[in-house]
Amino acid sequence: MLRVEKGLARNSINAYKSDLMRYLNFLADNQSLTDLEEIRQIDIRHYIRSLHDKRLEPASIARKLSSIRNYHNFLSREDLVKNNPSQLLDPPKLQKKIPQVLSVIEIEAIINEVDTKGLMGYRDKAILEILYSAGLRVSELCDLLVQKDLREKKMLRVDSKGKKQRLVPVGKKVIKVIDNYRKKIRTKLEDKNEHEGYLFLSNNGKQLTRMTVNNILKKWTQAAGITKRVYPHIFRHSFATHLLDGGAGLRSVQE
């Protein structure tokens, strides 16, 4: 998830791994915990206090706490545990970095580079258009179902975090590329395998994976000659930034 959805570099992922291994080892060795369900907020506080006792820098402790919070949020979101002991912990009060974004020209260059002479190009173009135009997370895109009333409703039904569903408005351009993909390629893929009605399918007719979406984006980014490190979540940041730059209200973008 960190590599594909968040687009983190190997060093960042290794830092997460190191933080979490030290945390879990502390819980096992010092708190005698043997099950993730046993972890309570007080256990996390004991660990943070131990970091203070070792005289770690505040920024380092804040990063480790952020790793722990993200870890417990992930466990909870994936239904691997019932409780999230980090939920009521105060987040680190550090200045956040501004997310990296692509310019409108760079976004257009990547999407326009997609070659629809090869039939899978219709699928790839639809994927990139939706990632940008609807600002979806890559997991949400992979979970999209075929929606027969899209042309009339002009709204994508998206299953988002917390098993909630939201409606996302889309324009004629997105609807057209989805129609092209469904007519020209999806009908040929859907008979190859069980797919439970998912909109985007792989070459073998199965539900598309996060890794495949990442590879698709990497392929057309390189073809467009863009040297920035581009990953699916950067389309979401760019979507929000470009809306705000165009005069949209912050609350509207959040919704």
Q: How confident is the model at residue 159 (pLDDT cuts 50, 70, 90)?
A: confident
What's residue 96's pLDDT? 62
Rounded average pLDDT over 35-54: 92
pLDDT in tens, 90-149: 765 655 667 789 999 999 999 999 998 887 999 999 999 999 999 999 989 999 999 999
In the predicted structure, residue 216 carries a pLDDT above the cut 90 = yes
State pTM to two decimals: 0.64
Q: How many CB atoms lie within 10 A of CB 102?
A: 22
In the predicted structure, residue 56 carries a pLDDT above the cut 90 = no
What's residue 154's pLDDT? 93
What's residue 8's pLDDT? 81
* Collapsed DSSP state (helix, strand, coil) of residue 217: helix
Residues with Cβ within 8 Å of 221's Cβ and at least 6 positions away in sequence, in order, are 110, 228, 230
Rounded average pLDDT over 203-221: 93
In the predicted structure, residue 220 carries a pLDDT above the cut 90 = yes
What's residue 60's pLDDT? 87
Q: What is the rounded CA–CA span in Å between residue 84 and residue 247? A: 37
In the predicted structure, residue 168 carries a pLDDT above the cut 60 = yes
Could you identify the residue written with the tokens 């699916």? 232
- Tell me the two tokens of residue 22: 């030290």
